[in-house]
Amino acid sequence: MLLMISGLSGAGKSTALHALEDLGFFCTDNLPAAMLPAWAKHVRHEHAAVCMDIRSSMEPDSLIEMLATVRKQGEWGMLFMDASSEVLQRRFSTLRRKHPFRSQQAEDASLEAVLAAEREALSPLKEMADLVLDSTTLNPYELADLVESFWRGRSANTAGQNSLSCLLMSFSYQRGLPSEADMVIDLRFLPNPHYQPLLARQTGQDDDVCEFFNAYPEVAEAEEKLRQWLLFVWPKLKRERKRYFTLAIGCS
């Protein structure tokens, strides 16, 4: 299954592509439209997605004909990203980015005029799309959810799952906080086996250290509260579309 993503600049094409990448797709960004036939011919992944760059010398009629031909050669889906002109203007003004389509317009053209020109140029692609997603009122997470729903609706054999992987790590505060941690739990209030001469050179993987901790009820209580907290926060992390979560346990 190959997915083609097109749409207005600033409407969320990159967000859509990243959502598919999280699902296990092989993704290509900003592929010149003229290279699409070669890309489709040589891609070897079962599930792949491409975000097209339509800033090319191809005439609109030739572009539409080429896309129609490519779509007949295999199982294709086409997604078009749209948004209101007012929202697009606000996004570009906030980010202070140059609109990609401006290079094809007069130097003194306003952003409003550039947006209108791009919208007109892409209207044939919008008509060809299997789904038009309007991101005007959507945040990135909501948009990604819709893209995922679109894909799951087209295929029962998804390229990936909406899973969340957790990495549990320990660290010493003397060496500083780990930069990769999404959240840190300070457990320095628990008994410290390091101050036991026979345990000082052992780690939490040693049975003697485990027996030391098992002798203190507050250790079991802290473990249970941490487990309950993870059960509480886990679905919320998934709702935020996190794919990886690193929980760092700190000690002295």
Residue extent(s) of CATH 3.40.50.300 domains in the chain: 2-154
Say what the pLDDT of residue 73 is. Answer: 73
The angle at the Cα of 232, spanning 231 to 234, to the nearest 5 degrees, equals: 65
Say what the pLDDT of residue 42 is. Answer: 84
Using an 8 Å Cβ cutoff, are 3 and 20 in contact? yes
Domain at 2-154: CATH architecture: 3-Layer(aba) Sandwich (3.40)
Question: Token pair for residue 157?
Answer: 């054999």
Residue of 135, 172, 133 whose CA lies nearest to 149: 133
Neighbouring C-alpha atoms within 13 Å toward the C-beta of 48: 17
Per-residue pLDDT of the chain (252 residues; tens, 9 = 90+): 788 898 988 889 999 999 999 888 999 998 888 888 888 888 878 889 999 876 655 666 777 788 878 777 777 888 899 999 888 888 887 766 666 666 566 566 787 888 888 888 888 888 888 788 888 888 888 888 888 877 776 654 444 455 677 778 788 888 888 777 888 999 999 999 988 888 988 888 899 999 999 999 999 999 999 999 999 998 888 877 666 788 889 987
Say what the pLDDT of residue 91 is. Answer: 81
The angle at the Cα of 237, spanning 234 to 242, to the nearest 5 degrees, equals: 130
Using an 8 Å Cβ cutoff, are 108 and 56 in contact? no
Say what the pLDDT of residue 141 is. Answer: 85
* DSSP 8-class letter at 169: E
* DSSP 8-class letter at 1: -
Residue 209 Cα distances to 92, 95, 169, 173, 189, angstroms: 57, 53, 17, 20, 16
Residue with tokens 């092989």, as numbered in its chain: 26
